[in-house]
Chains A and B, each alone.
Chain A
Amino acid sequence: AQKVTQAQTEISVVEKEDVTLDCVYETRDTTYYLFWYKQPPSGELVFLIRRNSFDEQNEISGRYSWNFQKSTSSFNFTITASQVVDSAVYFCALLRFNGGSQGNLIFGKGTKLSVKP
């Protein structure tokens, strides 16, 4: 079965601290995609990143970085020098293909990040 586990339910940090959000996934597919989404208090889902299973290079985008390790089935997300505006729920998701030309996302339960000034 395909599954995404975000073991950290809530994390609270003080501004400027670095924080890492963990994501562990399970799949038997050899080709798959992993995503991170941010859900601020306003409720929308903001796309952050997509990685495919063949690309294990770490990615950095400003204060955000992602560490994809197939050996441990993990796709962790680090925010460097956190800011109050980073406060949100962060979801990791796995794209599950339905055998045809379409797939659907399997989401983890999310990690609520609170950044205090």
Chain B
Amino acid sequence: EPEVTQTPSHQVTQMGQEVILRCVPISNHLYFYWYRQILGQKVEFLVSFYNNEISEKSEIFDDQFSVERPDGSNFTLKIRSTKLEDSAMYFCASSKRVNEQFFGPGTRLTVL
């Protein structure tokens, strides 16, 4: 069964560094999402993406964040200058229809 994949599974970075988290959505899906989960807390929506543009973003998704679909398969989340509070699990999701979302296994980002 096709699934969403994410790399790396764990990323450690220094404060102020740029990170790129990568996701490969399910191949025939059209809608893409990023969510974040700070350790021990709930999962929070960051951004949704459709037709090569952001369709919605939350207030968490400030100018430090950007998303891109650089080719036909990858969907990336870039954090330009990481802060300690960006440490979290980042989940990518994709869907073919609006009423479903399939999550990847997550990337744990640790900012030191």
A residues sitting closer than 8 Å to B (CB atoms) are: 33, 37, 43-45, 47, 50, 52, 91, 93, 95, 97-98, 100-110
Contact = CB atoms under 8 A, between A and B. Distances in A.
Contact of B103 (A44, A95, A110): A44
Contact of A43 (B31, B44, B99, B108): B108
Secondary structure call for the B interface: strand
Interface residues of B, number: 25
B65 interface: no
B99 A45 contact: no
B50 A101 contact: yes
Contact of B98 (A37, A44, A97, A109): A97
Interface string B87-112: 00101000000111111111010000
A91 B108 contact: no
Contacts of A37: 103
Contact of B45 (A45, A104, A108): A104
Contacts of A106: 45
Given A95-B99, A103-B99, 14 more contacts: A43-B108, A44-B104, A44-B105, A45-B103, A95-B101, A100-B56, A101-B50, A101-B98, A104-B48, A104-B58, A105-B45, A108-B42, A109-B42, A110-B42
